Amino acid sequence: MKALKVKKRSRRHGPLGTIAAIKEIGGPVMITRYNTRMAASINGGSLPGVSTGQIIQKMEEVAKSELSGDMKFEWTELTYLQLLEGSAAIFAFIGAILLVFQVLSVSTKAGRCRWPCCWSCRCAC
């Protein structure tokens, strides 16, 4: 590293070792911060047959029982988005049912059958 050539103020190239002291020190490879505070990330996965909801619930139970009072936990990335979404799938399903109901009611008012098997024919069912 000391032999690496860099441009000096005099516009000449010289070794990096002449303008900087380089020494090897030990320490963490990466310091994780979250909201400007020191943090520790925990990554994990679930076994087959175990839902992510069950894993999230279990991790919250362990964190609440094991962490000291001055520490807290927060979810990030995919788990945060999953918790933020909540029960949106139920609302989407209800919306889909209402959409199908509206399509069928419009087709009935137009004099067509409300059953998809015979939408091509006109009948009074």
Q: What is the pLDDT of residues 38-96, one digit of tens each?
A: 888 888 888 899 988 898 899 889 888 988 888 888 888 888 888 888 778 788 899 99
Which range scores top for mean pLDDT: 5-14, 61-70, 105-114? 61-70
- Residue 60, both tokens: 């919250």
At residue 49, the pLDDT reads 92
Confidence band, pLDDT 50/70/90 cuts, at residue 117:
low
At residue 123, the pLDDT reads 54
CA distance 118 to 108: 12
Residue 41 near residue 49 (C-beta atoms within 8 A): no
Spatial neighbors of 67 by CB under 8 A, at least 6 apart, are 73
- For residue 124, give Cα distances in angstroms to 112, 117, 120: 7, 14, 13
pLDDT, mean over the chain: 80
At residue 109, the pLDDT reads 60
Distance linking the first and last C-alpha atoms of the chain = 85
Q: What angle do CA 55, 58, 60 make, to 5 degrees?
A: 110
